[in-house]
Chains A and B, each alone.
Chain A
Amino acid sequence: MAGDFDFFAEDFQSDVQSHFRRMQRECPLAHTDVPFDWYAVTREADVAELLRDWPLWTSNSGPGLAHQGGGVLVSVDPPEHLFDRRLINKAFSPAQLLAMEPRITAMIDELIDGFVARGEGDLMALFAVPVPLIVIAWLLGIDVELATKLRPRADMVIHPATPPGKLDMAPPVTEQTIYFQQLIDERRKMVANGTPLPNNVLTSLVTAELDGRTLTDDEVMGFMGFLFIAGSQTTTQLIGNLIYRLLEHPDQMAKLKANDALLPNAVEESLRYDAPVNGLFRTNTRDTELHGRKLPKDTKVLCMFGAANHDPEFWDHPERFDVERPFQSTKRHYSFGKGIHYCMGAPLARMEARVAVKAVLDRLPNLRLTGEPKEISAHVLHGVDTLPVAWDAPAGGA
């Protein structure tokens, strides 16, 4: 490696924050050549500026390292982005999402009923993975069992298995493509026959007409694929990260158990402390200069949300995990991005995490780690892939 950091190195991935601190101090615009030249910004002020100035720092080349045209939402800027947003705004409005809380609470309770008697297990596989998958399946109109089987992985953004030089999006998920095409065909048939349509995102996409334009099958597929992955894995990481930190900090766990009112703070502090997505890329639309370095047009710069969330210039004691940190402070984190690309699923993610963690605290007493959690392999994500735990099973169980 030549350069200021190696994002893909195990040493970097296993302790991102100490590397972020060094980069903030020594190389605010950090360069790497693995697998080709690109950069990262880690200071809060720089992350804020790049996210704000979308005409210069575009998403049109995709949020990942691979230079990609096309795509939806996260991969386009206005005016296309505004068009995309208007298409799904109704199905994805915060009020609509928050109205799902009773249904989500009931589903979570039922899920825990299914495994509570075991007294131990991997809380990611048992709980943190299925909860968001089921919710996004409801929203999109995907069969819940099939959603679990298809479980998409965010390896698509930067695929870890892809050898340098051949960096590209993950290979097409064919089973998913075939299934989504069936769904689209069925829904178009329902529209043609005048059958009453279920209220979900698939219906919105298939029936959408904006400025005299409707969506092609490929476009519907693009939305479905993106929302499926964006709506599941990141929230899985959030739930896993929060539970893991609570297990690591028993004093914080005790505070939270004693006071439900701290739940929103705890979720927000988890988002700040462990950004589920380390960062997303922007690409400059013209030659520019940053921290004294000339960057030619089409240079990829990774905006490190996880670093901005711990920038000592911006936070008091960022290294402290504190569920009592006031919401007015924690809410300034970058884990949902900022500005035009602010995460549309943020209200849903916050609510899912709050309900999920409350259920775990209430129903899995004396929760404890029984082994070392495995880190997630996708470099762009931050969190655990397994969470081996035990709890006191209810008497008469198993």
Chain B
Amino acid sequence: MPRIVIDRELCLRSGQCAYLQPELFEMDLEGDGDPIVLVGDIGDPKLIAKAEDAITMCPGQAIRLQNGR
């Protein structure tokens, strides 16, 4: 099952993922402001569609879905 991976170097900390898909992402405001992925492996097509929306709209193009471990 795929899981969501964020490239920390590409991430711009815009907060767009957490805004558009709050089920999947949250901004780590206690830490350095990077987004946190809230789910592990995802199989639900609805959640995958939501992840893909975040991937498409990420201004740093920093998010992807990765298969396996």
Q: Which residues of A come within 8 Å of B, CB atoms?
A: 52, 82, 85, 89, 93-95, 98, 327-328, 331-332, 336, 338-340, 342-344, 346-347
Contacts and interface: CB of A to CB of B under 8 A. Distances in A.
A349 B20 CA distance: 21
A342 B15 contact: yes
A82 B19 CA distance: 9
Nearest to A90: B56
A343 B59 CA distance: 9
Given A336-B14, A340-B19, A328 B56 contact: no
Given A85-B20, A328-B9, A338 B58 contact: no
B29 A94 contact: no
Contacts of A93: 56-57
**Most chain A CB within a 10 A radius of its CB, from B9, B13, B57, B61:** B57
B15 A89 contact: no
A94 to B, nearest CB: 5
A331 B12 contact: yes
Determine the interface band of chain B, counting residues with CB < 8 A from chain A. Answer: 10 to 19
Closest 10 CB pairs of A and B: A342-B14, A339-B15, A340-B19, A93-B56, A346-B59, A347-B59, A331-B12, A94-B59, A342-B16, A94-B61
Interface in B1-28: 9, 12-16, 19-20, 27
A342 B11 CA distance: 13
Given A331-B13, A338-B15, 9 more contacts: A52-B29, A82-B20, A332-B13, A338-B13, A339-B15, A340-B15, A342-B16, A346-B12, A346-B14
A95 B56 contact: yes
Interface of B: 9, 12-16, 19-20, 27, 29, 53, 56-59, 61
Contacts of B15: 52, 338-340, 342
B57 A94 contact: yes
6 contacts: A52-B15, A89-B57, A94-B56, A339-B14, A342-B59, A347-B59
Contacts of B9: 327-328
Secondary structure type dominating chain A contacts: helix
A346 B14 CA distance: 10
B42 to A, nearest CB: 21
Contacts of A343: 59
Contacts of A328: 9
A306 to B, nearest CB: 18
A336 B58 CA distance: 14
Contacts of A336: 14, 59
A327 B57 CA distance: 21
B21 to A, nearest CB: 11
Contacts of A332: 13
A93 B54 CA distance: 10
Given A93-B56, A94-B57, A338 B20 contact: no
Contacts of A98: 61
Contacts of B12: 331, 346
**Most chain A CB within a 10 A radius of its CB, from B19, B20, B53:** B19
B25 to A, nearest CB: 13
A230 to B, nearest CB: 15
**Most chain B CB within a 10 A radius of its CB, from A332, A336, A342:** A342
Contacts of A52: 15, 29
